[in-house]
Amino acid sequence: MQLHENHSLAAYNTFGIDVKADFFVKVQHLSELKLILSNPLYLRLPKLFLGGGSNILFCSDFKGLVVHLELKGIEDLGDGLIKVQAGENWHHFVLWSLSKGYFGIENLSLIPGNVGAAPMQNIGAYGVELKDVFEHLEAYHIATGEIHNFDCASCRFGYRESVFKNIHKGAYVILSVTFKLRCNANVDTDYGIISEVLNNRGILTPTPKDVSDAVIFIRESKLPDPKEIGNSGSFFKNPVLSLSDFEPIKKNHADVPFYPSGTGQVKVPAAWLIEKAGWKGKRIGNYGVHEKQALVLVNYGGAKGSDIYKLALDIQSSVENQFGVHLNMEVNIIH
């Protein structure tokens, strides 16, 4: 385990923001994590635990210790139960499951990031969320050094939400996640665009691999590849509105898309609101709003995190002024 000082984080966040951490260390085993966290030199320093760095925006250098979690391993426990270490790449795990005949996460193909970060915000796409296949996780309690187990109920998953983003924020490091996958090849193609792509391909009885391929195709055609253009996927969450808040929007914009979300509530695509407010494809020097998906902010190269954050604030107030809707940021902002 090697400790680096004044280390660039550019390669460790998908926005590609070039900030520095005072201290940086890669951790491949639990024993290394324990060692570094009990070292008196770092005890009082602010700490940041990074997985794939796909949901984070650095606005300045990090004055503390960054721990890059690289715990690896996928273990087949039988009966569709699969234990995956936090440092495994999410999409690699999706492909692994398909190759072994385990299904249920094909709709979550190509989501950037690592397995350990997936429960934090209950990743979701094309009608499936992590909570649908989640069994339990093991997490390291930073304050006591104990390992705690969390089942589905104790994670309190919601739309891009879990206890690790609110009441337990900063308290735990997720070490491993155990999934309950299916052995039957039933697929979920309810999300319009998936059936559209499958139909266009002439596939009438899709396999999970067909669904995965369709999702990869959709994501690649709409979302920028972080290896080419720095970004962090959806920057904002889709707002959930009461019917009374939604009514005036619907009255002025008959074309507004919306989806029922619990009783008396609708979810409205933030991308639609941002696009209507005139931001889609807007470029300010080396950063801007993606031209194909208004929910994605991008770094064309060399942008500062604080500039992208300022853009996000401008979008927030412009959508608020125009529609009376507050957009919450999905991405973790590190000031």
Q: Which residues bind ligand EPU (CB under 6 A)?
A: 125-126, 223, 233-234, 237-238, 257, 269, 271-272, 275, 280, 293-295, 330
Query: Active-site residue numbers?
Result: 160, 234, 330
What minimum distance in Å lies between the beta carbon of 227 and ligand EPU?
Answer: 16
CB of 14 to ligand EPU, least distance (A): 10
Residue 292, SS3 per DSSP = coil
CB of 75 or CB of 196, closer to ligand EPU: 196
Which position's Cβ is nearest ligand EPU?
233
DSSP string, 120-178: TTT-EETTEEGGGGEEEEEEEETTT--EEEEEHHHHT-BTTB-TTTTTTTTTEEEEEEE
Q: What is residue 115's DSSP assignment?
A: G
Determine the 3-state secondary structure of 300 from DSSP: coil
The nearer residue to ligand EPU, 67 or 177, going by C-beta atoms, is: 177
Measured CA to CA, the distance from residue 316 to residue 15 in angstroms comes to: 19
Least distance in angstroms from the C-beta of 235 to ligand EPU: 8
Q: Considering beta carbons, is residue 85 or 238 the nearer one to ligand EPU?
A: 238
Least distance between ligand EPU and beta carbon 46 (Å): 26
Cα separation, 250 vs 254, whole angstroms = 5
H or E element in which residue 334 lies: strand 332-334
Q: 38: which residues sit within 8 A by CB, 6+ positions away?
A: 145
DSSP line for 64-95: EEEEEE----EEEEETTEEEEETTSBHHHHHH
Nearer to ligand EPU, 69 or 271 (CB): 271
Q: Which is nearer to ligand EPU, 17 or 294 (CB)?
A: 294
CA distance 144 to 142: 6
8 is written with which tokens?
A: 């660039």
Q: Please, which residue, 7 or 109, has the CB nearer to ligand EPU?
A: 109
CB of 226 to ligand EPU, least distance (A): 11
**Least distance to ligand EPU, CB of residue 42, Å:** 31
| Closest alpha carbon to 150 in 172, 129, 130 | 172
